[in-house]
Amino acid sequence: MEKLIKLTSVLYKLTKVFPEKEPLRIALREKALRILSNYLLLFSDNSVILYKEQKTALLENTLKDIKIIITFLELAQEQNWAEPENLNVLGRVYQKIGLKIALGMKEKAVFSSKKEKGNKSEVLEKSSLEKAGFSLARLNGRQKKIIQVMQKQNIVQIKDLEKYFPQTSKRTLRRDMNYLLNFNFVLRKGDKNNTVYQLKKQIDRTEN
C-alpha cells in the first residue's frame, strides 16, 4: 500500500514539468488518484465490505485505468515532457501492479471453478485480463513479426523497423517496442535518436 501511495506522489511530482495547461497532466493525476482510491477500497486493512460483483467491477476498472495511465505515459515520453527513462520506469511499475491484480483475479477464478465445477472462471479470466488489455503473453501480429525481425538482426532501431512496416507510424512502432519491453521480450539501450532495442535470449512466449 505504501508503495502505491509513493508511486502516486512520484507521478504528481513528475507531471509538474508538463505544460501547465496540458490536459494529459490533469488526466494522469486523476487516473492515479482513482487507482489509489480503488486499491484502498479493495486491499487496505480497513477496506469496506463489497459484494463479489462490486469487487470484480472495481478490479476491472482499476486495470483499465492502469492501461490508460501507461498509454498516457508513452504519449508524454514522445513529447519529451520529462526524462524518458523516468516515464518508462513509472509505466513499468504500473504495469507490474496491473499484472499482480490480474493474476490475483485469475487465481481466484480458478479456485472458484474448482468449487463450482463450472466454466465461470474462464469467463472472468477473459473479462478481467483480455478486456482490460493485460493478456500476459499475447502479442499482436505486428509484434510477432518484430520479434521475427529481431531474431535475425538481434539489435534494431525504430528506423530499421520502418523498412519492414512502411504503413505503420513511428508512434505505433514505439508503442509496440514499449509493450515488448514491459513484458521482458527486449532490452532498451541509449536514448532519443540513439535508442536501440536488443532481443532477449529466451523468447518462448511468442507462440501463445
Q: Residue ranges per domain, the chain?
A: 2-130, 141-199
Tens place of pLDDT per residue across the chain (208 aa): 788 899 999 999 999 999 888 899 999 999 999 999 988 888 776 656 777 888 888 888 898 899 899 888 888 888 888 888 888 889 889 988 888 887 766 555 444 444 444 444 444 444 444 444 444 346 778 888 898 898 888 789 999 999 999 999 988 898 888 878 877 778 888 877 788 999 876 444 444 4
Record the pTM. 0.57
pLDDT value at residue 154: 79
35 grid coordinates: 487507482
Distances (CA, A) of 18 to 72, 89, 145, 175: 12, 17, 35, 20
pLDDT value at residue 105: 64
Domains 2-130 and 141-199 share a fold: no
Q: Please, how many CA atoms are within 13 Å of residue 30, restricted to the half-sphere of its CB?
A: 7
Q: Hey, what CATH class is 141-199 in?
A: mainly alpha
Q: Decide the pairing of beta strands 196-199 and 186-189.
A: antiparallel
Architecture of domain 2-130 in this structure: Up-down Bundle (1.20)
Q: Cα dihedral angle (84, 89, 95, 96), rounded to 10 degrees?
A: 170
pLDDT value at residue 138: 60
